[in-house]
Amino acid sequence: MDRLIARYTNSYLSYVLMYLFYNISFALFSAMLSVYLIGKGYSASDVSLCVSVGSLAAMVTQPVIGGLTDRFGMRPVNLTMFGIVCLAALGVVLAPNFMMLVGAWAIINLLMNGANPVVERMATSSPYDYGKVRMWGTIGFACGTQLSGVIYDAISPDALFITMIVTMLLCILGFWGTQPRLAEAEEASIEADDAEPVSMKDLLTNKKFLYYLALQVIFVGVTGAVYSFAPAFLTSKGLDPSLASTILAVATLCELPFIIFSSKYMDKVPNKVLLLVCFALVAVQMVTYGLDLPLPVIIVITLLCKHPPVIVNIMANMKVVNTIVDARLQISGLALVKACQSFGTIVSNNIGGRIVDASGYPPMFLFLLAAIAVGLVGVVFFQVPSGNDKKLFS
């Protein structure tokens, strides 16, 4: 048994299990949320409320989780959070009313998002190439998105969260086996014992970083609203939930080439160009949805423009933070970015839900188009180093 455990520890299999089942779990609780709630008789505003409460909880607790991780280590903190997620998933199923359901879902959301910066960073700290590890996250999310539609149609809506408990247990098994290299921030702290100490104040007085936070509020605010309402938008066009989830699953897989070949371009394309491409692709998607173009066009643009800019932004985020933030504050920087992204999701989902209830989906997407256009202009004026010397993905 000891030999088996030794072979499993920090093996490629452990990273595959963690990334695959973490992302399957993420898709199960979130991909069909709007369809799940609307199917139970709730309105688009109720969907916005649920997402907003979860995002607010994530925003408030993100710095706390980051601090706990720095103090107690990522293994005990994240394994504890994943265990609580399993209990909260059962809570969604057993919730006697809407507010209890929202509370249980918010716990899942804040803990899964709280673990996200560590999970994402582990792909750059494992003994394996970034693309070979992170691609399992994309495959997992695609499988989870497809599985969510099948479970919703063939079994029951509540079975989504029962299945999630099983996938989270497998994620825990994978996470338990990983032993990523010492984090860059920890290495920097060890090497700089005599250097001037740093704190959160250094982040909050970093003008480039604050400017970047505003850009991320806009980008993730828009993509977060699209993520919440795209399933319901597709079903409103006449597609049944299982077909809509299939389209969204295939759309997820469209980000795979960008992950697998990340080492070929992420360390060669400047930060600013990466951000410009991300914002531009989302703008194309909003134009297509906002003008309510024919369904075939909507499907094609969904495949090409929904997930690729999101995954490139995730990778660019690590590169930008690594470029403009002190090495000893990397995890804190990533946590603060995540908190601001949650704030953007809260605002966009609240406004988006109200617009959908009052005027329908196309006007909401035109509003999101205006927001992403402001962000695109902001990126043009963003003075950020290229970051190509960091070699995070090579």
pLDDT tens digits for range 262-311: 888 998 999 999 999 999 999 999 999 999 999 999 999 999 999 999 99
Q: Identify which of 116, 122, 119, 124 has the alpha carbon closest to the alpha carbon of residue 61.
A: 116
Per residue in 144-163, pLDDT tens?
Answer: 888 888 898 889 888 999 99
Q: Say if 1 falls within a structural domain.
A: no
Checking if the pLDDT of 226 tops 50, the result is yes
Between CA 323 and CA 46 the distance in angstroms is 39
Checking if the pLDDT of 1 tops 80, the result is no
Q: Say if 2 falls within a structural domain.
A: no
Q: What is the pLDDT of residue 184?
A: 47
Q: Say if 137 falls within a structural domain.
A: yes
Q: What is the pLDDT of residue 70?
A: 66
Between CA 325 and CA 74 the distance in angstroms is 21
Checking if the pLDDT of 85 tops 80, the result is yes
Confirm if 327 and 274 have CB atoms less than 8 A apart: no
Checking if the pLDDT of 18 tops 90, the result is yes
Q: Identify which of 233, 236, 223 has the alpha carbon closest to the alpha carbon of residue 281.
A: 223
Q: Say if 6 falls within a structural domain.
A: no
Between CA 158 and CA 246 the distance in angstroms is 19
Q: Which residue has the higher pLDDT, 189 or 47?
A: 47
Checking if the pLDDT of 242 tops 80, the result is no
Q: Identify which of 371, 141, 357 has the alpha carbon closest to the alpha carbon of residue 232.
A: 357
Confidence band of 190 (pLDDT split at 50, 70, 90): very low
Task: Please state, in angstroms and as integers, the Cα–Cα distance from residue 219 to each residue in 266, 279, 290, following that order.
Answer: 19, 7, 17
Q: What is the pLDDT of residue 317?
A: 92
Q: Say if 393 falls within a structural domain.
A: no
Checking if the pLDDT of 345 tops 70, the result is yes
Between CA 287 and CA 291 the distance in angstroms is 6
Q: What is the pLDDT of residue 200?
A: 66
Q: How many domains does the chain have?
A: 1
Q: What is the pLDDT of residue 65?
A: 82
Q: Say if 192 falls within a structural domain.
A: no
Q: Say if 184 falls within a structural domain.
A: no
Q: What is the pLDDT of residue 91?
A: 93
Q: Say if 170 falls within a structural domain.
A: yes
Q: Which of the listed ranges 80-89, 114-123, 228-237 does the model predict with the highest average pLDDT? A: 80-89
Could you give the maximum distance between any two Cα atoms of the chain, in Å?
64
Residue ranges making up the domain that contains 336: 11-178+197-380
Both structure tokens of 92: 């969604």
Domain of residue 341, CATH code:
1.20.1250.20
Q: What is the pLDDT of residue 217?
A: 95
Checking if the pLDDT of 183 tops 70, the result is no
How confident is the model over 4-24, as a mean pLDDT? 91
Q: Which of the listed ranges 115-124, 238-247, 275-284 does the model predict with the highest average pLDDT? A: 275-284
Between CA 277 and CA 309 the distance in angstroms is 7
Q: Identify which of 224, 222, 237, 244 has the alpha carbon closest to the alpha carbon of residue 36.
A: 244
